[in-house]
Chain A
Amino acid sequence: MKFDVIVVGAGPAGSAAAYTAAKNGYKVLMIERASEPGAKNVSGARIRDSVISKVFETKDLPFERIVKNSRLIFKTKETETQITVKPKEKLYIISRLKFDKWLAKNAENAGALLITKTTVTGIEGNKVITERGAVEGDKIILAEGANALLSMSLGLRRELKPDETVLGVREIYSSTRDEVAKRFNLQGDEGEIWEIVTDHPIPSAGFIYTYKDAVVIGIGSSVDELIKNKLKPYELLDVFKEPYLELVKGFSLREYSAKIIPEQGFPKFKPCKGNVYVAGDALGLVDPLTFDGIGPAVISGSLAGKADSCESYYKSLYEAKEIVKVVRSRPLVHELLKGENLGFYVHLITDFISSWIKGDFSELRYYKSSLGKMIKHLALGLGMIG
């Protein structure tokens, strides 16, 4: 059987690619290795309506809650500082199983054919090989996720190293809708997201967010730091969640999952070669500090679905705000993820705020010697260097 477009993976990038290509009149096949779209997909759950609605009609998007408050917490062993932000734009908290299923349904409704429970094991020219046999496609889009075995086998990218990989682990505790609302002081569809940057016991970025009737707690840290400190990922999670256990007291654990996030990616990872295109997580488009990846996945997927040549795909990626954002922030994120730098800023921020409260900034003199480093990071953040 022959298709115009074959998409490997029915996650946000894959479904956006299939949806876009099918809407443009192409005969599209989407192949998913899980029993249903989303069943193997783990990620942070915040998406921007303004980004998703560039590709999909979001009227019936299945969300868990809408972010009312986003809290950023800097935490040392001794103290912490919190900043609460009320988002100006509409941010949804979504669960991947429901959201990814909805995305795939959109692609199917546009005319794409979805096959599940099928793992693609190789690409040979225009042939896509699975354990059930081969199919042919004029254009092949790899939206295969972080473990991009096919992209690597085609030489579009190399294997990651431990010091450029973040591992996130998370647990989901369920209860009732009312109980979740009560503990976070929420009304109706309101939800909350906490991001916790800490240097204890190792530099890491934790997160807590609310689903309809459940609370998600997780943490990400450099794989290299885990190994150096001989710390198992779930031991790190246990230390991290200790102060927050009251939030989920009496709730029951319903899920434990893990995911890697590459700190490297496009343009170091090549987005295309001949008739093969790569999009989303496989192209390294997740921000390893904020875990924001669904937006860039949907945008890159849609662009891959539209692209008629490798050159035009490159060009469109560089013109997309959401993609450029990830690429531009990479040098800074890389700097910040170095253990000593993350700890440095966590301490700087907490010390600054406590000095403010005490009305005594003399302690901050200590940071004078690090001014050079701070200016470098500021310049990276502003895109002046890097």
Chain B
Amino acid sequence: MRAMRIEERLYTLRYKRDEKPHLEIKDQGTCKKCYEEYGSPCIIACPANVYSFSNDGRMIVAYENCVECGTCKIVCPFNNIIWRFPRYGLGMAIRY
């Protein structure tokens, strides 16, 4: 069996997108500093690859892929992530 891409795994979940992001970065500059000092723990620890840097060095948050585990909030050394639950029953849902 070949290694599965994360997108294929996330595809198995039922998602309903909240138009309003439930995850937000407080300050982009802090993310740059964090990358240099800590190697961006949120990028490593997120099980759904929600966090990535764009080509121009901005932290992009693909909140619509979030599995709502809460790891990013815990690992951020600067408490730079605003972490809420999606509203109105939106976000991810499991099948089993």
Q: A230-B44, A234-B47 are in contact. Are A40 and B1 (CB under 8 A)?
A: no
CB within 8 Å of A: which of B1-43? Answer: 1, 3-4, 6, 8-10, 12-13, 16, 39, 41
Q: A40-B94, A232-B44 are in contact. Are A131 and B88 (CB under 8 A)?
A: yes
When chains A and B are docked, how far (Å) is the Cα of A46 from the Cα of B48?
Answer: 25
> What is the minimal beta-carbon distance from A144 to any residue of chain B, in angstroms?
9
Q: A35-B89, A256-B10 are in contact. Are A227 and B41 (CB under 8 A)?
A: yes
Could you pull out 9 A-B pairs where Cβ atoms are within 8 angstroms?
A40-B68, A42-B69, A147-B83, A159-B74, A230-B44, A232-B49, A249-B1, A256-B13, A260-B69
Kindly list chain B residues whose C-beta atoms are within 8 Å of the C-beta of A253: 4, 8-9, 12
Q: Pick from A163-171, A310-318, A353-361 the stretch touching chain B.
A: A163-171
* In the complex, B61 has a CB within 8 A of chain A: no
* In the complex, A364 has a CB within 8 A of chain B: no
Q: Which residues of A are interface residues toward B (Cβ below 8 A)?
A: 33-35, 38-42, 95-97, 116-119, 121, 131, 146-147, 149, 159-162, 165, 167, 169, 171-172, 211, 214, 216, 223, 226-227, 230-234, 238, 245, 249, 253-260
Hey, what's the 0/1 contact readout for B62-96 against A, CB within 8 Å counting as 1?
00000111110111000000011111110111111
> What is the minimal beta-carbon distance from B19 to any residue of chain A, in angstroms?
13
Kindly list chain B residues whose C-beta atoms are within 8 Å of the C-beta of A216: 96
CB pair A161–B74 under 8 Å, yes or no, is: yes
When chains A and B are docked, how far (Å) is the Cα of A195 from the Cα of B33?
Answer: 40
Q: A162-B74, A232-B47, A256-B12 are in contact. Are A149 and B85 (CB under 8 A)?
A: yes
The contact of A258 among B48, B75, B86, B87, by CB within 8 Å, is B48
CB pair B47–A40 under 8 Å, yes or no, is: no
Nearest to B41 among chain A residues (CB) is A227
CB pair A255–B13 under 8 Å, yes or no, is: yes
Q: A96-B94, A160-B74 are in contact. Are A131 and B87 (CB under 8 A)?
A: yes
The contact of B6 among A121, A162, A167, A234, by CB within 8 Å, is A234
> What is the minimal beta-carbon distance from B76 to any residue of chain A, in angstroms?
10
> What is the minimal beta-carbon distance from A150 to any residue of chain B, in angstroms?
10
> What is the minimal beta-carbon distance from A309 to any residue of chain B, in angstroms?
30
Nearest to A132 among chain B residues (CB) is B88
Interface size on B, residues (CB 8 A): 39
Main secondary structure of the interface of B (DSSP, over half): loop
Q: A234-B6, A256-B12 are in contact. Are A117 and B74 (CB under 8 A)?
A: no
The contact of A33 among B39, B83, B89, by CB within 8 Å, is B89
When chains A and B are docked, how far (Å) is the Cα of A227 from the Cα of B84?
Answer: 23
> What is the minimal beta-carbon distance from B15 to any residue of chain A, in angstroms?
11
When chains A and B are docked, how far (Å) is the Cα of A214 from the Cα of B68?
Answer: 23
> What is the minimal beta-carbon distance from A229 to any residue of chain B, in angstroms?
9
> What is the minimal beta-carbon distance from B14 to any residue of chain A, in angstroms?
8
Nearest to A169 among chain B residues (CB) is B47
Q: A147-B70, A171-B9, A238-B3 are in contact. Are A97 and B44 (CB under 8 A)?
A: no
> What is the minimal beta-carbon distance from B8 to any residue of chain A, in angstroms?
7
CB pair A42–B94 under 8 Å, yes or no, is: yes
When chains A and B are docked, how far (Å) is the Cα of A172 from the Cα of B94?
Answer: 11
Q: A41-B94, A42-B94, A254-B12 are in contact. Are A227 and B44 (CB under 8 A)?
A: yes
The contact of A35 among B68, B71, B93, by CB within 8 Å, is B93
CB pair A96–B96 under 8 Å, yes or no, is: yes
Interface centre among A38, A147, A253 (most CB of B within 10 A): A147
When chains A and B are docked, how far (Å) is the Cα of A35 from the Cα of B85?
Answer: 13
The contact of A227 among B16, B45, B86, B91, by CB within 8 Å, is B45
CB pair B67–A116 under 8 Å, yes or no, is: no
Q: A162-B75, A233-B47, A260-B69 are in contact. Are A116 and B10 (CB under 8 A)?
A: no
Kindly list chain B residues whose C-beta atoms are within 8 Å of the C-beta of A117: 88-89
When chains A and B are docked, how far (Å) is the Cα of A161 from the Cα of B45?
Answer: 13
> What is the minimal beta-carbon distance from A151 to any residue of chain B, in angstroms?
13
Q: A35-B93, A119-B87, A167-B69 are in contact. Are A257 and B13 (CB under 8 A)?
A: yes
